[in-house]
Amino acid sequence: MIVGVTPDALLTTARLSLRLHREGDLERLVAVYSRPDVARFLLEEPWTPESGAAHLERRLGRTGLDEPDGALALVVEREGTVIGSVSVWRTDQERRTVELGWTFDPDHGGLGYATEAVTAALQHAFERHDAHRAVAQMDARNDASARLAQRLGMRQEAHFRRDFWSKGEWTDTLVFAMLASDRAAS
C-alpha cells in the first residue's frame, strides 16, 4: 500500500500523503476537530483555535516510533488539503505493541481515504518498526471507526460496557487488534 517516501511526506499512497504536522495545519485541523459530528466520539471537546494550538503543539513533537515511548502523529493530505490525521504510539516496547487512532473529515468520507491512510500507517508500524501487535480503541457508538477497523482486518477483541465517563455520560469502548502475522495471512 505504501507507494514511497518523499521529502515532504513520511508515507505516500496512490492518492494520499501522510506527513508530520506543521504549524500551518492549525486552521484546517480546527475545522475538522471542531465539528460536533467528529468531536462527539473523541476524548476532548470540540477544538477552538486556542485548544487546537495546544493539541497541535503536542503533535509537533510526535515524530517517530524509534524510542520505547515513541509516537508518530501524521496529517493525511489529498491534493494538498488536510483531510484527516492518523497517530501511532508505542504502548508496550517489550511486547512490540502499538496503538492507532484516526480522525477524518466526514466531507471526504466514503471514498476509501481512511482505509488507505490507516493501512499505510499499519504497514509502516509493522514493517519499519517491527510492531508485533496493533490496537485501536474507540467509542462503541462510532460505527464508522468500527467498520474501518474491520476493513483493515482488525478483529474485535473486546466490548467494554459503560467503562468510560465522557462528556457527561458513560460510554462503551470497543477494542480491535491485529497481529503482524494477520497481515501476512491475508
The structural domains of the chain, ordered by start, are 11-133 (3.40.630.30)
CA 186 to chain centre: 22
- CA dihedral angle for residue 41, residue 139, residue 11, residue 91, rounded to 10 degrees: 130
pLDDT at 9: 67
User: What pLDDT, on the 0 to 100 scale, is given for residue 5?
Assistant: 43
pTM value? 0.92
**pLDDT for the residue numbered 183:** 80
Spans of the chain, pLDDT less than 50: 1-7
